[in-house]
Amino acid sequence: MTPANSSEKPSTTNTEPSNFVLIGRMMMLGWKYRWGCVRLLALQGLLLLTAIACLRLTGLGIDVVRFHAVPGAPPPSFPWWVQLFQTKSPMAQVAVIAAMVLVFELVRGALNYIYTLSAGYLVHARIVVDLRSAVYEKMQQLSFGFFDSNATGSIINRVTSDVQSVRAFVDGVLIQLVILLISLVGYVSYMSSIHVGLTVACLATTPLMWVVTAIFSYLTRPAYDRNRVLVDEVILNLAEYVQGVQVIKGFGREREEVKRFEHANREVQQQQHGIFWMVSLFGPSIGYMTQINLVILLAYGGWLVTQNQLALGSGLVVFAGLLQQFSSQVANLTNIANSVQQSLSGARRVFEVLDTPSSVRESDHPIDLPQVRGKIELANVSFAYPTGGTVLRNLDLVIEPGERIAILGATGSGKSSLLSLIARFYDPTTGTVLIDGHDARNLGLKQLRRQIGIVFQETFLFSNTVAANIAYGHPDATMDDVIRAAQVAAAHEFIVNLPNGYQTILGEGGFDLSGGQRQRLAIARAVLLDPAILLLDDPAAAIDPHTEHEILDAMQQAMEGRTTIVVAHRLSTLRSCDAVIVLDDGEIVQRGTHDSLFLEEGHYRDAATAQLSQASLLH
């Protein structure tokens, strides 16, 4: 069996996937959206053709004017698609050419509009949404171990920003590279058809640009990796501030927190400054190299025109236009190289999540157990958290269906951990948890958890109505069911006094409840499931003795016929259970009924006596 602490940390410590592997996986991702990509490329192809046509027409216009204005100038060469107008008057020829340029520019505008819309839809409405859903869905399958091993900031950053970086590979790299390639082939072929020698001379700096780009890419990668980690830190600070705002304000630590946040923020700023510095240097360098091409064109091309070896309009001017377009495409290399590195950093982190195996695995052939009777056995169970040492040691325990067991133990003795193993939030490191005689690992996870009602020490409420919060595990429950569960948990009375009763919105931006009220909602949530097994992790911790009594009375009926394990410290709860086990440092040190344990020397009697003497002092 896999030890719990071996698996759910994303594989940053294992061998990292190579750039080739990451690029291959991102290409596969692009393949999923191939028809959307083909559409974009087709649009780019049309844009390229219309751009060349516009240039060709402009050059022709100049040659027509020159032929009729400059004596001895060579006659213009009409391409086949405008030869129809060759016989018209010079003014008519120029007018037709100008009108055609306008029409082509209009078509280009429309094509550009459709391209922007299509690219936006493909990237933001499909790729990002799909990828984010895949990462989020995967996180649902990962066990608690994953969340223990990864900081909140890193998890949030992976779902938001890193996913964006991966999609940037599709629109910022893959599509752009193909566009670049199509454009280069298109422009270079056309330039060669005008003058091969001039083309070779003008493109002499291109290999150098590729080399500079490759060096830039290589140098920026570590900076982008580091950037992701620093941004994780900023998000973590923010998340902790939101979660811990009460503590921060309670201890008057706002200033220090602001400083901590500023420090993290400044680190990102400084580090990003370094990246900007590299990008800023690279962009103009490439731009400068493309301008060298223009100088060569003017010198060599100008000479060819004076020698009548090249037409001025359809030769030199068209060439200059093509070179300009070519240069802007090559300059786009800066963005592509930048996007490649950002995407690789993001992809590594996104694929780490998608590839992380869940340490709590669903069995390939789960045993069908639609109705659990509620027998729980722990056979020589030991457990260690992924990030820590052993917290439960060699536990042996049998709980019969319908039995009520209380767990007593000092803080940190392993009570909550024991409950987590029964609900299969974690699997034991060694030993077996059996439900109705079956190894819990062989049962369907969902089926098992649906039959276990859990009340945690701290209750999380969703930003939704009171009714929806109670019906969280059973969204199809009727309002009557919800009210009945609330009555059992002694919550009905306070709920009907809320501003909108069961429809009052809770959670962030909504109505807040007291600790005791939240706990009662959690009990109602568990009771509504009508579970065979109830796990109550110290539900009375935040409730005053009077309310505790109310809840205990109300729950007696609900507990009837269910196996209940309750972490408890109050004597009243301990007494009401069939048996009590006492945990000390992860080991069961005592077990028995309240009466038998009270007679024994030990932990239980000490705790019970302390409570009794406290109570007598109060009376």
Ligand X SMILES: Nc1ncnc2c1ncn2[C@@H]1O[C@H](COP(=O)(O)OP(=O)(O)OP(=O)(O)O)[C@@H](O)[C@H]1O
Site residues (vs ligand X, CB under 6 A): 148, 385, 387-388, 391, 409, 411-417, 457
Find the shortest distance in angstroms from Cβ 512 to ligand X: 23
Give the Cα separation of 17 and 15 in Å (integer): 6
Angle at 348 between CA 222 and CA 172, to 5 degrees: 80
Two tokens at 553? 């009375």
Identify the CA nearest to 79 among candidates 53, 101, 50: 53
Rounded least distance, CB 412 to ligand X, Å: 4
From the list 570, 545, 542, the residue with the least C-alpha distance to 406 is: 570
In three-state secondary structure terms, 394 is: strand
Q: Are 243 and 508 in contact (CB under 8 A)?
A: no
Token pair recorded at residue 51 = 């751009």
109 strand-pairing partners? none
Nearer to ligand X, 333 or 391 (CB): 391
What span, in angstroms and rounded, lies between the C-alpha atoms of 535 and 533? 7
Length of the chain: 619
| Shortest separation between residue 149's beta carbon and ligand X, angstroms | 9
DSSP assignment string, 79-146:
-GGGGGGTTS-HHHHHHHHHHHHHHHHHHHHHHHHHHHHHHHIIIIIIIHHHHHHHHHHHHHHS-HHH
**For ligand X, the closer CB: 61 or 145:** 145
Minimum gap (Å) between residue 414 Cβ and ligand X: 4
- 431 CB-near residues (< 8 Å, 6+ apart): 378, 379, 380, 381, 382, 394, 395
Provide the terminal-to-terminal Cα distance of the chain, rounded to the nearest Å. 55
Structure tokens at 343: 């995407």
For residue 265, the minimal CB distance to ligand X (Å) is 29
**Residue 156: C-alpha distances to residues 9, 232, 233, 259 (Å):** 15, 8, 11, 22
Kind of pairing, strands 563-567 and 533-537?
parallel
Nearer to ligand X, 168 or 406 (CB): 406
Shortest distance in whole angstroms from residue 243 CB to ligand X: 16
Closer Cβ to ligand X, 391 or 558, answer by number? 391
State the minimum distance, in angstroms, from the CB of residue 597 to ligand X: 18
> Residue 55 or 581: which CB sits closer to ligand X?
581
For ligand X, the closer CB: 310 or 384: 384
Q: Give the nearer residue to ligand X in terms of CB position, either 216 or 385.
A: 385
Q: Are 575 and 494 spatial neighbours (Cβ–Cβ below 8 Å)?
A: no
Choice between 143 and 413, CB closer to ligand X: 413
Residue number, 324 or 457, with CB nearest to ligand X: 457
Q: How far apart are CA 155 and CA 353, in angstroms?
A: 9
To ligand X, the closest distance from the beta carbon of 387 in angstroms equals: 5
Q: 350 and 163 in contact (C-beta within 8 Å)?
A: yes
Q: Hey, what amino acid is at 159?
A: V
Q: Phi, psi at residue 436, to the nearest 5°?
A: 50, 35
Rg of the chain in Å (alpha carbons):
36
Residue 528, classed as helix, strand or coil, is: helix
Torsion sign (Cα): 313, 317, 323, 325:
negative
Tokens 């939101």 belong to residue: 242
The conformation of residue 600, written as its DSSP 8-state character, comes to S
- Residue 148 or 267: the one with the smaller Cβ distance to ligand X is 148
CB 388, min distance to ligand X, A: 4
Q: Minimum CB separation from ligand X for residue 456, in Å?
A: 10
Nearer to ligand X, 313 or 414 (CB): 414
Taking the least distance from each CB to ligand X, the nearer of 33 and 385 is: 385
Q: What is the rounded CA–CA span in Å between residue 473 and residue 491?
A: 18
Please state the closest distance from residue 613 (CB atom) to ligand X, in A.
22
Question: Which is nearer to ligand X, 77 or 457 (by Cβ)?
Answer: 457
CB of 111 to ligand X, least distance (A): 56
Least Cβ distance, residue 162 to ligand X (angstroms)? 24
Distance separating alpha carbons of residues 286 and 103, to the nearest angstrom: 33
- Give the span between the Cα atoms of 291 and 293, in whole angstroms: 5
Between residues 532 and 574, which has the closer beta carbon with respect to ligand X? 574
Question: In angstroms, what is the minimal distance from the CB of 385 to ligand X?
Answer: 3
